[in-house]
Amino acid sequence: MKKLFVLNLLLAGLTCSAIPASYAASPDSARYELEKVVMLSRHGVRPQTDTTGLEDATGKKWPKWNVPDGFLTGHGYAGMLVQGAYQLETWRDRGLTVGSPDACPQPGAVWLWAAPDQRTRATGAALLDGMFPGCGMAVHTTVNQHDPLFDTIEMGIAQPDEQVVYQQVRERMGSSQQAQKNWRKPVADLRQAVCADEGKSCAFLDKEWQVKINEKGKAKLSGPVSKGASIAETIRLQYSENLPLSEVAFGHVKTAQDVNNLMALHAAKYDLVSNTMEYARHGGSLLMRQLIGAISSGIGLTNKVNPDVRLQSPLVIFVGHDSNISQIQTMLKFNWQLPVYPRNDIPPGGSLVMERYRDKQTGQRFIHLTFSARTLDQWRYLSPLSEQHPLPEAEFNNADCHHTAVGELCPLNTFVKLAEKNLVDDGKGLVVFQ
């Protein structure tokens, strides 16, 4: 009981007034009742996944973290705990009936499935601890080393057309010479920030831009992006973790904007490869089917998915990686621009949220789709989340959506058709959640 009391005091101090002012003040907001939420979230802050690789590539000794490579940090856990509390308070105020500040959820009301990595499992625990402190909510994950929901391409399940992937990447990138010209300044900036003075350091920055596809259909760029993307991500993570500025990009970063200026090669990896439709639809269809099944459960709108009974929970959460969100985002053609991040960037804790509303006047169901994430400085300082300092958020809209008191709402049947449009059969018959 003492632990629950202390944790509730902490969360109360960090997540006050979660309802956006536009929602709370709107006279017709009560017309729409939030009855279901499905969220796909990236894990929280972690260190680099391969310190030796970074050091070999740059010729420099990289700063040490207090956890092993790739593990969620305590800072990352704390940020996701507060984020979970903030998100749930917002959903409850919009009508979601899952637990209460004084009571744990009923069995079957919440279900969370995480990728098997430590950082994703620990992020799931942080979210649930923030949402339901003291309730001991379970994080579910596969008993196997890999999960096809999150590793469809890596496991060789996806079968993208290699020629189509190659063509789509080349259409975005242009020739190797064009790419070299277009990213000349980002390459020079990264070289100045992280490369040793020795002539052989950062040799990857001088190599030719090329598209390579391995035997499992996984596409990669050679040249500056091959190591530059992960180096840029590591700089972002260093800043987000609140490492001393002398250790962030070896002292070459002073502000969040400085971090953003070094993110170009990371952004290129996603813009040129991960966000191409052929690659995304084959890598993301298995996960998209679960998202569709969850958000449409109990309505019977689709015959393309047969949802697991656990997806009927009012609150369903998946915790995976930025690559998973990138695939779903691309399939939905959902683009965003959050403050001081590259376009379509997916920071630690970034969350793709599907909210299902019921119009009390007509009984019709609608989807409110958003992407939200802490700013770099909100991560660095673990800033309280509140009405005055909310999670930056982007809304999905298209011609069939309309603006309401609760945001841009899209008819559920229209949204499901849109989500199904780019599905392929890769992995369709696989049994998941094992």
As given in the structure block, the two tokens for residue 195 are: 């490369």
pLDDT, mean of residues 22-42: 80
Q: What is the pTM of this model?
A: 0.92
pLDDT of res. 9? 36
Residues 231-268: tens digit of each pLDDT: 999 999 999 999 999 999 999 999 999 999 999 999 99
DSSP state of 100: B
Residues 369-387: tens digit of each pLDDT: 999 999 999 999 999 998 8
pLDDT of res. 198? 79
Parallel, antiparallel or unpaired: strands 210-213 and 219-222? antiparallel
392 C-beta neighbours (distance < 10 Å), count: 18
> Does pLDDT of 161 surpass 70?
yes
pLDDT of res. 27? 53
Integer Cα distance of 202 and 194 in angstroms: 9
* Residue 225: CA count within 13 A, CB half-sphere: 26
pLDDT, mean of residues 61-72: 97
Q: Which of 97, 124, 93 is nearest to 111 (CA)?
A: 124
Integer Cα distance of 123 and 128 in angstroms: 9
> Does pLDDT of 25 surpass 60?
no
Q: For the chain, give the mean pLDDT.
A: 91
> Does pLDDT of 165 surpass 70?
yes
The confidence band for 304, taking pLDDT boundaries of 50, 70 and 90, is low
Q: What percent of the chain has pLDDT over 70?
A: 92
pLDDT of res. 335? 97
Parallel, antiparallel or unpaired: strands 351-359 and 402-404? unpaired
What Å distances lie between residue 377 and 53, 140, 269, 383, 393, CA to CA? 28, 31, 24, 8, 15
